[in-house]
Amino acid sequence: MDNSPKENAVPLLNDKGYIQKRTVGKPAIIRFARSSEEKDPERYYGRVLKLYFPHRSNDDLKSKEFPTYEQFYKCGRKWGREVRPLVDVMKKKYEGHGQKIEKALEKIKEEGLVVDAWNTFAPEVEVDRLECIAEREAINPNNDNEMDNVPDFQVNRDSSIAVPAIQAPKLSPDFVRKLYQSLNETQASIFYTVREWCLKRVWGHNPEQFFYFVSGGAGCGKSHVIKCIHEEATKILRQLPRFRDQGDMSTPAVLLTAFTGTAAFNISGKTLHAMLKLPRSLKPPYQGLGNALDEMRAILSNAEILIIDEISMVSKELFAYVHWRFQQIKGNKKPFGGMSVLAVGDFYQLPPLGKAKPLCVYEESCSTFGKTTSKWSI
């Protein structure tokens, strides 16, 4: 209780002070002590009645015929109506799954946490997560000067070695049609948004590059959306004049990437380090491609869209390097060299290596993308 008047304050009778009225749009969390219905029924039903049955004193929650809270709840009547239906309606409104939560908490107290419980819900996703963890090399957290260990890093940077064609396996038309038909409403929304952008690009409308972030929990179909978008965007962007003029369909229009080899394999893509020939150390200053620049331009110059899966594992330093690398390859000072970017992942899953902060953590000192962060759409 507050004794000083404030905004939305309601005065109490007899100069007892003020209470502040909650504003609309600010949800409240109901907190209360929980008791077991089996172990302590009187305390349990007393809590239920005090929370959900209108009363002015505890005496209103009992009667001579029903001297206990449990009896009053199950058999009592008030104002000509049964007590139980009134309480159950209010309890269902505010607690929802309260009874299930209580049973789950009791089970955890008795049996402890089930370490492998996630396996029963999404076993394939759990396998991917464990494989990603296995790929992360051990890092000494006390050594700030240690260079980041990265997956699929090639020490030999001899530019004479040809970069293999970056091309996802072709899918049959029937399989692709089934992929599209299986998209739910939310998945279809981002799919058709990207598709519309690709059509405008082919029609010569020159739409602005997009920056989309697609998020969702494990097993919600993020990889499925990536495959659909890659297939449709590639088919449409192949109609651009430069692809027809060159007559070379091996250069990709859409790049499928991820941080780890496992995540890249799941979407038929490549790791960011392997695709862009990123250095082992991502610390400033930026290390250019040198003699390999012409080779990389020949491979990636026609790319229009960059898809990054498992974005939660991408550090700010790596993201900045990808940005600078495409600026160099494309010869364009726009963000990511004018490439459109679709970032996919869940920041509640695996974080970046070592002490690196994920992209969702704001830092005042990191101003590399200060002008572009507002352009990202979720």
Q: Is residue 288 predicted with pLDDT exceeding 90?
A: no
Higher pLDDT, 242 or 222: 222
137-146, 203-212, 233-242, 322-331: segment of lowest average pLDDT = 137-146
- Residue 315 is given by DSSP the state B
pTM score of the predicted model: 0.57
The pLDDT value recorded for residue 150 is 45
Q: Is residue 337 predicted with pLDDT exceeding 80?
A: yes
Q: Is residue 258 predicted with pLDDT exceeding 80?
A: yes
Question: What confidence tens digit (pLDDT) does each residue in 41-69 have?
Answer: 898 888 889 888 888 888 888 888 888 99
Domain map (residue ranges) of the chain: 31-111, 124-157+167-377
**Strand duo 9-11 + 81-82: pairing:** unpaired
Higher pLDDT, 272 or 113: 272
The pLDDT value recorded for residue 158 is 46
Pairwise CA distance, residues 342 & 376, whole Å: 9
Higher pLDDT, 259 or 155: 259
With cut-offs at 50, 70 and 90, classify the pLDDT of residue 94: confident
Residues pairing with 334 in the sheet: none
Question: What confidence tens digit (pLDDT) does each residue in 262-277 have?
Answer: 888 888 889 999 999 8
Which one, of 245, 221, 243, lies nearest residue 233 by Cα? 243
With cut-offs at 50, 70 and 90, classify the pLDDT of residue 141: very low
Question: What average pLDDT score do residues 73-92 get?
Answer: 87
Which one, of 252, 258, 372, lies nearest residue 310 by Cα? 258
Measure CA of the first residue to CA of the last residue in the chain; give whole Å. 41
CB count within 10 Å of CB 207 equals 13
The answer to whether 318 touches 268, Cβ cutoff 8 Å, is no
53-62, 108-117, 143-152: segment of lowest average pLDDT = 143-152
The pLDDT value recorded for residue 335 is 92
Range list of H helices, the chain: 41-52, 69-75, 83-95, 98-111, 117-121, 123-135, 173-181, 185-202, 222-237, 241-246, 261-266, 272-276, 293-300, 316-330
Question: What average pLDDT score do residues 30-35 get?
Answer: 67
State the average pLDDT for the chain.
Answer: 78
Domain 124-157+167-377 has CATH 3.30.2010: no
The pLDDT value recorded for residue 254 is 93
CB count within 10 Å of CB 84 equals 16
Q: Is residue 345 predicted with pLDDT exceeding 80?
A: yes
